[in-house]
Each structure stands twice: as C-alpha cells, then as structure tokens.
Amino acid sequence: MNGPIQPEDLALPDGAMRVDASRISAPGAFLFDPASSVLNAVAVAQGGRQAAWFVQGEFGQGVLRHYRRGGLMARLSADRYIWTGAAATRSFAEFDLLHYMHGRGLPVPRPLAAAYWRHGLSYRAALLTARIAGVGPLAAQLACADHAAVAGAIFAMHDAGVWHADLNAYNILLDAQGKVWLIDFDKGRRQAMPAAARRANLLRLRRSLLKVGGESALSWWQALDQAYTRLEAATGHV
C-alpha cells in the first residue's frame, strides 16, 4: 500500500524549495514572488505584517507569506534569521509540521511550497499554503462560535502531539459552515503534550480573548475550557 506523497526538494539560487509535487507540476522561484504576473497576487488587508498575499495558480487559491520579524527584533532585521541548517528554517519547519498535520486529517491549511534564500550566516524565507475559502477569525465571531467545535479542533491538535506557538483568537478561523480551522504554525512543533503544555496553550488563547473582548469574552473561554475538559475525561487524559 502506498503512503502519502512525500514533498520534493529543489535547488534555488542561493537556497532551496520544498514543494508538493502533486499540486504543483512546474515549480520555480516565481511561486514566492508576489510581483509575478502568474500569481495575480493581492495583498492581505489584515495581518501578515504587510508580507502576505492571496495568490492563484495551478494549485488553486493560495496564501503566500514572507517571514518577517515583529517587535524590537524587526528594528535590527525585518526579514532575516540566523542560519542553523535547512531543516531549521522557519519555512521548511512550518511546511513539514503542516504536512504532518494535514496528513492526519487535522483542520489546517495544506502546505504547497516553502523556500529559503541563504545569505552567509542568515536567510530569508517564504511559505505558500492552500487558501481556506470563506473564513473569518474567531475574534470576530465569538457571539456565534461553537465552543465545543473550537475545543475539539484544539484537542485534536494536542492529541496529535502538536504545540501551537501562538494560539490566539486570530489564528483560529471559522468557515461559513462553522468548521474550525487552525493556522499560523510558525515556531510550532511536535512534542509530548502533557497536561501542563495543553493548559499553557489554552491560557494563551484566554489572554488573547480577553484582549479582544474584555471580561465579556471570559465566559466564552470558560465554556470552551469546560468542553475541552470533557474531551480529556472522555479520552482518559485526566
């Protein structure tokens, strides 16, 4: 029995790319260039640190993101990271994590291609993922979002041994049918997920919800927490 198709690695000038060959038959550096006429790129209006675009191609609709720093580090270098090897690049690491999760049927964007360009001891990076149609952030839909559905998506992620480095109200999306999607796995990783690690992820989401909705969002998070606890009890995690 054949397993899932493995991504292919190809050379780029000063770097390399990793691509889902089942979705992209003629890969090239153009996949990561928002100025390419082939992609018909449109800048994402919110988020992305002005470095994300909606694109389209033979792969369908996609989201192209160039990795950029935030906070104080951005003053030193907006888009360069310390080189520690290809596997550790932000783009390849996130691609591989998404590939693992998508292969397990988790509600995450399908990774299409990743790239890095090395410059001495530093590198730049980019990632192309499939676009999820008709979604909006949890932050804007608390009034109608299903606590149990959100708890279920987070629980499934944790049960697959995945830590989300920035689980917040904008990295949880809901589509028109109410299905929950999890995005932005930059700096996420596969690891053991004991109770303390699960709780830390949930508390990060709690802080985000309080920033978005103030104390009125607290009751929503408490209902989510209760739904998550029920899943733990049902599966023997507590």
**Residues designated catalytic:** 166
C-alpha 141/C-alpha 174 separation (Å) is 8
C-alpha 31/C-alpha 38 separation (Å) is 9
C-alpha 188/C-alpha 135 separation (Å) is 22
Q: What is the DSSP string of 162-211?
A: EE-TT--TTSEEE-TT--EEE---TT-EE----HHHHHHHHHHHHHHHHH
How much of the chain is helix, strand and coil, in % rounded to 5? 35, 25, 40
Q: How many CB atoms lie within 10 A of CB 219?
A: 12
Torsion, CA 102, CA 105, CA 108, CA 110, rounded to 10: 40
